[in-house]
Amino acid sequence: MSHLYETDGAAIYRQSFATIRSEANLSRFNPIEERVVCRMIHAAGFVPLADSVHFSPDFATTARAALHAGAPILCDVRMVSEGITRKRLPANNAIICTLQDERVPALAAQIHNTRSAAAIALWEEHLPGAIVAIGNAPTALFHLLNLLQDPSFPRPAAIIGCPVGFVGAAESKQALWETAPVPCMVVEGRLGGSAMTVAAINALACDIE
């Protein structure tokens, strides 16, 4: 017996987002935030995610403007950097992930931290006005927040803080939310991950759902 299923990709997309909007509580979001949250829910297949996503008041407009101005996107892992849809980017934005840089292992040993945290040290020249997209490593987010305590350290335009996991993920996002050194968004608690982070970038980059 043959299985019957929807085969039109565009129809699948339309139905998916219609379902998300009919089931999720999106009333507290502005139009840009709503688009971001819908894409994140779509990536996770988890409608209750909407209750865990939080934006600082100026995040959406700041991040969107930075992308349109050509800001680079700094990613903690290649799952994030490879997942971003290049054709959605408004200004052929550079996508940078330094985790595989040959200098990282020595830096990690030097600072007694993870490779993910050490890779942040190689962002400094790219940071001014950049979009930071952290979707995996709590240590990367914590280390960045510590660096940003120095007023002279370069400031990104905005930070997407969505590290996932059971050790440090919730705490690192809480620290970002409480200190908010720049406009930011977080997925509170243990939830997060590269797919959600990529979805947020893709939504901010382009109006087309």
For the annotated catalytic residues, the residue numbers are 42
Distance CA 194, CA 149 (A): 26
Q: Count CB atoms within 10 A of the CB of residue 1.
A: 3
Say if residue 149 is exposed, middle or buried (CB neighbours under 10 Å; 0-12, 13-18, 19+). Answer: exposed
Distance CA 187, CA 184 (A): 11
Distance CA 88, CA 3 (A): 34
Distance CA 28, CA 13 (A): 24
DSSP state of 45: T
